[in-house]
Amino acid sequence: MKYRKLGDTGITVSEIGMGLEHLLDKDEKTVAGTIKTAMDGGVNYFDCHPGNSYENSGDNDSYEGFAKFGRAVKGLRDKYYTSYIAHSAARSPAAALPRFENWLKAVGTDYADVYMIQFCDRARDYEQVTGDNGVLSHALELKAAGKIRHIGISTHSAEIAFKAMENGSFGVLMYPVNPAFDVVTDEEQYKTEDLGTLWDAARGFTAAGRSGAQPRKNVYSECERRGVGIIAMKPFGGGFLLKAEKDAGFTPVNLMSYALAQSGVSTVVPGCTSPREISEILTYYTCDDAARDYSGAVARSRWSVMENCLYCNHCQPCPAGIDIGQVNRLLDAVLFNSDADNVREKYNALPVKASACTACGACESKCPFKVKVAGRMERAAEIFEARG
């Protein structure tokens, strides 16, 4: 297992976490075995989504699923991080507090690492969350009291993601990361009023006539710039990518590899329902590079965006020693966002700068997406190395 910083939170999480949404309603033995297998494999972040174990019905909420998780991690509180899920605008602070206290009791902990405000996909939900006496004000009080460490927000909307980053109170963003959703360009039309429209937009995508832009990926570079940690959800698009184009070659392993290649992503949280499933997920660290390579599947799929760097590193090694993928990540970050001081710091730390490019063409001949690498290296040198 490898580990990454969760933005600027001070938390270091496993690259592969685990979503509990479809696990907590399983029997005690299955829950305990799955959690143990995950932790034995180095997993230390659990997205404590309640799934079917939690009935959204006022005082009749069921916490037995959470209690199963709590019993599975008993005595191991310093070995894992977890999130508490607060259901956005549907809950007032007065209603949210007893639910949070019940969750703490069920899990057997005194605090949540991340208080995740979830299902915030519409502008009116966000306004209610962040308005007077909204759930965010409740979360800030809990943080001041030491009952939560960090505040996060979960959304499928790039618009809401940018609003949350501007707010400054959210240190964690839970956001869908996969090659199908990344190409969606018509958020102005669907606005995620109905979540199904995100899948519809991805399903109906065709590369014909597209500019090559991936506007939803701007979220990743902005999170990295601001130190907001990304928890990558829906790496398989809810299973959609594994079914929609079976011949493209998408697999759980190469889709997780895609998510982890994006700027700002700290951990990817696939859902698992058994020890066998999490064991299969963890083969990510024992399989070869070819199994983790997502470039071929993306290039064969309807979601292929040519002349756009997807950081797959097929261009390596560079004869001049440039880390081309990292330079492209940083260039994308500064092109997407005007204020990029910390991006410049990361660029300055690179041992070999883009100006070392000799335009030999070795990288371009190997790139499956026909990226004009030499031109991008020249642009990076102009931006990062210009002397005022």
Identify the domain containing residue 371 by its residue range. Answer: 324-385
Question: Could you read off the pLDDT of 143-180 as tens digits, one per residue?
Answer: 999 999 999 999 988 889 999 999 999 999 999 999 98
Q: Which of 294, 309, 338 is the last residue of a domain?
A: 294
Question: Could you read off the pLDDT of 236-274 as tens digits, one per residue?
Answer: 988 888 888 888 999 999 999 999 999 899 999 998 999
Residue 317 in any domain: the answer is no
Residue 306 in any domain: the answer is no
Per-residue confidence in pLDDT tens, the chain, 388 aa: 999 999 999 999 999 999 998 898 899 999 999 999 999 999 999 998 765 544 444 444 568 889 999 999 999 999 999 999 887 655 566 777 788 898 999 999 999 999 999 878 888 888 989 988 888 998 999 999 999 999 999 998 888 999 999 999 999 999 999 998 888 875 555 455 555 577 777 877 776 655 556 778 889 988 988 999 999 999 998 888 888 888 899 999 999 999 999 989 999 999 899 999 999 999 999 999 999 999 999 988 888 877 888 888 889 899 999 999 999 888 887 776 655 667 888 899 999 999 999 999 999 998 888 889 999 999 999 999 975 4
Q: Which of 256, 273, 294 is the last residue of a domain?
A: 294
Cβ–Cβ under 8 Å, residues 85 and 50: yes
Residue 314 in any domain: the answer is no
Same domain, 155 and 277: yes
Could you report how far apart the first and last alpha carbons of the chain are, in Å?
43
Residue 20 in any domain: the answer is yes
Q: Provide the whole-model pTM.
A: 0.85
Looking up residue 228, the CATH number of its domain turns out to be: 3.20.20.100
Q: What is the CA radius of gyration of the chain?
A: 21
Reading the block at residue 262, the tokens are: 């994006």
Reading the block at residue 89, the tokens are: 């605008």
Same domain, 367 and 264: no
Same domain, 143 and 25: yes
Same domain, 358 and 237: no
Is 19 in a helix, a strand, or coil?
Answer: strand
Residues in CB range of 140: below 8 A, 6 or more apart = 151, 169
- Measured CA to CA, the distance from residue 173 to residue 156 in angstroms comes to 10
- Measured CA to CA, the distance from residue 98 to residue 140 in angstroms comes to 16
Is 91 in a helix, a strand, or coil?
Answer: coil
Residue 369 in any domain: the answer is yes
Same domain, 156 and 206: yes
Reading the block at residue 129, the tokens are: 């969350």
Q: What angle do CA 330, 364, 211 make, to 5 degrees?
A: 65
Confidence (pLDDT) at 56: 45
Tell me how far apart the 2 most distant CA atoms of the chain are, in Å: 67
Counted residue by residue, the chain has a size of: 388
Q: What angle do CA 5, 30, 35 make, to 5 degrees?
A: 20
Same domain, 97 and 139: yes
- Measured CA to CA, the distance from residue 170 to residue 292 in angstroms comes to 31
Of 27, 13, 38, 23, which Cα lies nearest the Cα of 281? 38
Confidence (pLDDT) at 275: 96
Same domain, 49 and 186: yes
What single string gives the DSSP state of each residue in 247-304?
Answer: GG---HHHHHHHHHHSTTEEEE--B--SHHHHHHHGGGGTS-HHHH--HHHHHHSTT-
Cβ–Cβ under 8 Å, residues 53 and 31: no
